[in-house]
Structure 1
Amino acid sequence: MRIVSLGDSVTLSYGGDRSPWVSHSWPAILGRILSSNLGERVEVVNSGVNGDTTRLALARIDRDVFQHNPDLLIVMFGLNDALSLHRGLSIEEYENNLRLIAELASYRGVRVVFMTPNPVTERFERYDSGRSLERLLKYVEAVRRVAGERGAKLVDLFELFQRDDYYRSLIRDGIHPNYDLQGVIANYVASEVSPLLGGPRIPRVRLHRLVRVRLDDMYNAFTDIAKWRGRFYVTFRVGTAHFIPDAPDGRIAVLESSDLSSWRRAAVLEVKGWDARDPKLLALGDRLILYTPSWSPERRVRETFAFYTRDGERWEGPVSCGEYVFWRPRRLGDEIYVAAYRPEGEGWELHLLKSRDGLKWRYVTTMYRGDMVNETELLFRGDEAVALARVEKRPRRALVLRSKYPFEEWSARRSNLVLQSPAMIEHRGLIVVAGRVFTREWSGGPYMPDYARTGILVLEGDRLKLLMELPSAGDTAYPGMLPLEGGRIAVSYYSSHERYLGEDLLSRYRPYTQDYKPGIYLAIISVHP
């Protein structure tokens, strides 16, 4: 299936000529969301042009739209038509041009979706005490009017922004939505057009806030988040690179906050002689436990160690939990379970372990054997368990494992997507997933700047359906997820996007290197079925 998105610079967004960020523009993200939800490849052609109007679009419509033979045309204009000093059009011409675009598409059997433009804000150089917004609103009403006349689908981006102060604050120059909003726009459009294409209703994701937790000269990566005794804790690895096999490079930082905005250092934990990695948190009564699967450069083995605190300040440990790589422990009643793997040659094995105190663990069963199975997230739903497992053997698509209490026998089915570093919670009847996703097929090589992303998904049966991509690039993901009051979710993750994109988040691009050390971020979202 092919969709053409016709518009101005807001449509073009980060998809300019030779820009590596074309895959991070909202039309490109829209294509990935629709593909995973419809179960077929959906290509979205970005036919946005800087400074364009409906008049100029009509002059290029054959070349930029109809030669692609689209099944659907998304049309969004108005900012330049209403506000450009040199290219502005009367509202009458603007409205007639919209009708003509729709008629030309209808003649060729192409369905049309109209989008209203986003509003302008005080940052716009010609805001003129709000008079430019008042003028733009008349053009917005014209879009709504034409869509209503023709019975066409309307995606009201203007209304979405008008009712959300945070979104308006992210219109970087008062007219162009910034990098952080590309996934927001893509999710909103996908939720509106999916039923039109015979697809499912796609849950909407609202981004309430994005917090930069840590960005410095260290390689900060691999996160988790927990709430304990009314305080929030974020943990991550601090090193000089992603991985140095011959050096004990990593330590574990623990930050603490009362409001998810301001963070202070609570601890830096070290396993002497080991590279401490992939920390996970477990709030267990009067203790907060931290697990760090670690690598010994000398012995060339992996082992998970635990630290714990009773006051959030003084930590005891490390305590060895065995030669396993733990993922995220989960409580079920009085028991704690963890999916732990052993990477040994070609026969990688995934075991289920359980504990009562979080320190002494015993074997329950082998959940899966082979395929280089590794990072595996557990979720309990009553007496049932579901697990998402990363695999490295081609085709690398994640495994969905299921079992019932006492969890000794597990079924396994292959999902539809490559997903790495999974996190998973139940939220409003949905299984919401976060993890590393890819803009194209991953070969197993180094991550290029535009290659990997942090995605928000849902798991339905054995299918992973992408809902949104958080601002992310380069080395990214390893999220933690924490349900909050009011139906919100805190998602911790790491990403290099600010390193690559620079101050203006648009024109600067530098090749991949370990020098682009990632930072730690926290997204506050809500998912609406």
Structure 2
Amino acid sequence: MAFKATLGFLTALAITALLSVGAARAEPVKLVGFGDSLMAGYQLPAGDAFPVKLEAALRAKGHEVEIANAGVSGDTTSGGLARLDWSIPDGTQGVILELGANDALRGIAPEETERNLDTMITRLKERGIAVLLAGMLAPPNMGPEYAERFNAVYGKLAEKHEVPLYPFFLEGVVTKADLQLEDGMHPNAKGVDAMVQAMLPAAERFLTSLKAGE
């Protein structure tokens, strides 16, 4: 009887251990989509916002992940910097950083945009939070000189901080009217789908790097 009791105890202990390991493996990676109206889902239902759809696409690929939406319409890099610390909760493992479009629309000096993004990346890394930097391109009406200075910002920062760069957040949408709202600037629901599919490989690589670093 003593042997059977001991065997039963050990079996129960082993099962508990296996369940604990399984639960630990199932813990989702916690990401935050931090940006402006392009991230927030301007004029779209909450379920059509980029972070929601990217999370669904990644889960469909078998990734356990949660992506919080910390997009604020109208935000510049200065606005993002001001709210960064309280918008990114403790326990966040990675941030998709998408800001700068409103800087370019307002003609803010690219050097200021670079400084703000630089500070944000530095702060996040100091907290042990990985960054996937989403780039932006200056609108044509700003002229070639401004565009040259602005468009170079993201590559320079990615190289400086050794973070992955997704070159253009609006990839596949910017020139297609059927994927945009009537304002010709923001994606509609189908446009968000196109953006998610375009970024999906980069997002998967980002997740893989986070898991490798655990």
Give 1:28's aligned residue. 52
SS of 2:184 mapped into structure 1: coil
| 1:97 paired to 2:125 | no
The amino acid across from 2:168 in the alignment is L
1:207-226 matches, cutoff 5 A: none
The amino acid across from 2:86 in the alignment is R
| 1:43 paired to 2:73 | no
Report runs of 4+ in structure 1 exceeding 4 Å deviation: none
1:338-487 matches, cutoff 5 A: none
Give 1:109's aligned residue. 128
Structure 1 residue 97: Cα displacement: 1.0
Give 2:101's aligned residue. 79
Name the CA shift for 1:118/1:69 in 2 (closer, same or farther; >3 Å): farther
Give 1:170's aligned residue. 179
Structure 1 residue 159: Cα displacement: 7.9
SS of 1:5 mapped into structure 2: strand
| 1:148 paired to 2:171 | no
| 1:56 paired to 2:79 | yes
Name the CA shift for 1:8/1:136 in 2 (closer, same or farther; >3 Å): farther
The amino acid across from 1:95 in the alignment is E
Q: Deviations over 1:368-404 (max 9, x none)?
A: xxxxxxxxxxxxxxxxxxxxxxxxxxxxxxxxxxxxx
TM-score (normalised: structure 1): 0.32
State how far apart, in whole Å, the 2-side matches of 1:138 and 1:178 are: 29
8 Å CA contact 1:105–1:112 kept in 2: the answer is: yes
Q: Deviations over 1:276-308 (max 9, x none)?
A: xxxxxxxxxxxxxxxxxxxxxxxxxxxxxxxxx
Give 2:11's aligned residue. none
State how far apart, in whole Å, the 2-side matches of 1:34 and 1:43 are: 9
8 Å CA contact 1:78–1:139 kept in 2: the answer is: no
State how far apart, in whole Å, the 2-side matches of 1:140 and 1:151 are: 18
SS of 1:44 mapped into structure 2: strand
Q: Deviations over 1:406-465 (max 9, x none)?
A: xxxxxxxxxxxxxxxxxxxxxxxxxxxxxxxxxxxxxxxxxxxxxxxxxxxxxxxxxxxx
SS of 1:160 mapped into structure 2: coil
8 Å CA contact 1:24–1:182 kept in 2: the answer is: yes
Structure 1 residue 83: Cα displacement: 1.6
Aligned-residue CA RMSD (Å): 2.5
Structure 1 residue 138: Cα displacement: 3.3
Name the CA shift for 1:43/1:136 in 2 (closer, same or farther; >3 Å): farther
The amino acid across from 1:96 in the alignment is R
8 Å CA contact 2:132–2:206 kept in 1: the answer is: no
The amino acid across from 2:180 in the alignment is I
8 Å CA contact 2:51–2:67 kept in 1: the answer is: yes
Name the CA shift for 1:68/1:186 in 2 (closer, same or farther; >3 Å): farther
8 Å CA contact 2:118–2:157 kept in 1: the answer is: yes
| 1:138 paired to 2:183 | no
Structure 1 residue 68: Cα displacement: 4.8
Name the CA shift for 1:8/1:57 in 2 (closer, same or farther; >3 Å): same
Structure number, greater radius of gyration: 1
State how far apart, in whole Å, the 2-side matches of 1:68 and 1:133 are: 41
State how far apart, in whole Å, the 2-side matches of 1:83 and 1:117 are: 11
State how far apart, in whole Å, the 2-side matches of 1:109 and 1:116 are: 22
TM-score (normalised: structure 2): 0.74
Give 1:183's aligned residue. 193
State how far apart, in whole Å, the 2-side matches of 1:24 and 1:92 are: 33
Structure 1 residue 76: Cα displacement: 1.0
Q: Deviations over 1:194-230 (max 9, x none)?
A: 122228xxxxxxxxxxxxxxxxxxxxxxxxxxxxxxx
Name the CA shift for 1:136/1:169 in 2 (closer, same or farther; >3 Å): farther
Give 1:205's aligned residue. none
Name the CA shift for 1:4/1:174 in 2 (closer, same or farther; >3 Å): same
Q: Which runs of 5+ in 2 are unaligned?
A: 1-28, 210-214
Q: Deviations over 1:128-181 (max 9, x none)?
A: xx323643553232112111222211112268348x84x366333232122221
State how far apart, in whole Å, the 2-side matches of 1:171 and 1:132 are: 21
State how far apart, in whole Å, the 1-side matches of 2:159 and 2:129 are: 17
SS of 1:157 mapped into structure 2: coil
8 Å CA contact 2:169–2:195 kept in 1: the answer is: no
Q: Deviations over 1:307-336 (max 9, x none)?
A: xxxxxxxxxxxxxxxxxxxxxxxxxxxxxx
Q: Deviations over 1:319-370 (max 9, x none)?
A: xxxxxxxxxxxxxxxxxxxxxxxxxxxxxxxxxxxxxxxxxxxxxxxxxxxx
8 Å CA contact 2:80–2:99 kept in 1: the answer is: no
| 1:10 paired to 2:38 | yes
Q: Normalized per residue, which structure has more strand?
A: 1
How many equivalent residue pairs?
179
Structure 1 residue 190: Cα displacement: 2.1
The amino acid across from 2:204 in the alignment is S
Q: Which runs of 5+ in 1 are unaligned?
A: 121-129, 200-529
Does 1 or 2 have the higher relative contact order (CA < 8 Å, sep 6+)? 2
